[in-house]
Amino acid sequence: MQKLSLALAICLGAPALAETPLVLAVASSARPVMRPALTTPVTADIETRFQAWLAEFHTQALAQGVSAKTLDAALPGLTYDAEVVRRDRNQAEFTKTVWDYLDTAVSTARIDAGTKAVARHAALFDRIEAQWGVDRHVIAAIWGLESAYGLVRGTDSTLQSLASLAFDTRRPEFFGEQFLTALQILDAGEVRPADMRGSWAGAMGHTQFMPTSYRDHAVDFDGDGRRNIWSDDPTDALASTAAYLKANGWVTGQPWGVEVTLPQGFDLATARRELTRMPSEWAALGVRDTNGKPVPDHGPASILLPGGGTGPVFMIFDNFAVLETYNTADAYVIGVGHLGDRIAGRGPIRGDWPRQDRALTFDERIELQERLTAAGFDTQKIDAKIGPLTINAVRDYQLSLGIMPDGYASLRVLERLRQGQ
């Protein structure tokens, strides 16, 4: 998913993939999934109210230039989908640790399937790289995580999903824009209503574009006069993904990140996203790649500790932030980057993840943020999302205690806060 749908994909869980046979091993998206269901209140007249809302939207869409012919073909038959709304409201929990997510996202089967996909479409990737300068292995990795290389593109009606979510009160403006844009795409004749299908949240095609991302970045790369991201042929979808990444700042030739080792005594307080140095400057402080060599000066970089101070360490570049426009979760970005590296023939992550740790539950993440803020280390948001603000608050709290300031939001930190330490 892309920049305009960040809130749709913040969880880190993923469906388990069988290792054999190969088709089963990759016939599942590795996009984040929801936590266990909560009941969405549904009143007896909700369908009546939905149809009234839809009639009003019909009038608004006409005023926005969508033809009556398109609306009359697309809107009749749409019904309120309570399951879609339930799933949207229950995304807030990260259900897996980074390492558990990567075990699935970068499985042997997914790497093998990606390697074959890149080889099979080598000529296409040659053209895409020549035009946009985006690494083919990164595009293939997004393809692999979003739809298992096209095998799981989604069968939900995009219009019904978006209409249900736009009618809901949680984010009506966002989904209202997506619904209107989907209708405008239909009005332009780029796809038939019956063929506009994708994920439950309205993301479409091989690489799961939201309608506004399709509008702004999709390209007709096969020259047939249509920007067809839905067909079995992935040409337009893969080219559109490259166009999207380039438009969001992709730097040609720059890695997303490089696994590194830190010298003894390294100041972990400097491992902040906002603190960047050239790799040569980090090298002067003793930071090396896993082969013991300085990282080339690809551009300003920061140090990321996704598993805390005892886990693998990454030097990340601007392209990391570009991939975040697809999905804000660090696990997803590392998953795309590392899967791309593995498809390109590079080795596995060498550092040891703290596999003895478990992910904090949704309630525990809320509690962590509340306790940090109450203790004077403001997370600025109480939303259960462990992003840079919360990581910085954890680090500042750790510094106040004189313990390792890695910003790692672990159960150990929460227990200290509970004890008032």
| Dihedral angle computed from the Cα positions of residues 53, 55, 56 and 58, in that order, rounded to the nearest 10 degrees | 130
Q: If you write DSSP's letter for every residue of 57-114 in order, what string do you get?
A: HHHHHHHTT--HHHHHHHSTT----HHHHHHHHT-----S-HHHHHHHHT-HHHHHHH
| Dihedral angle computed from the Cα positions of residues 276, 281, 284 and 286, in that order, rounded to the nearest 10 degrees | 30
Residues 141 and 343: beta-carbon distance below 8 Å:
yes
| 355/101 Cα distance (integer angstroms) | 12
Tell the burial category of 209 from Cβ atoms under 10 Å away from its Cβ (0-12, 13-18, 19+). Answer: buried
The alpha helices in 75-228, defined as continuous H runs, are: 82-89, 98-105, 108-120, 122-132, 136-147, 158-167, 172-187, 211-217
Strand blocks (E) in 288-382: 288-289, 302-304, 313-316
Q: Answer yes or no: 146 catalytic.
A: yes
Q: What angle do CA 221, 151, 243 make, to 5 degrees?
A: 30
Give the tokens for residue 193.
């209503």
Give the tokens for residue 347.
């080795």
3-class DSSP assignment, residue 340: helix
State the catalytic residue, choosing from 93, 129, 146, 367. 146
Nearest to 123 by CA among 208, 246, 238: 238
Looking at the annotation, which residues are catalytic?
146
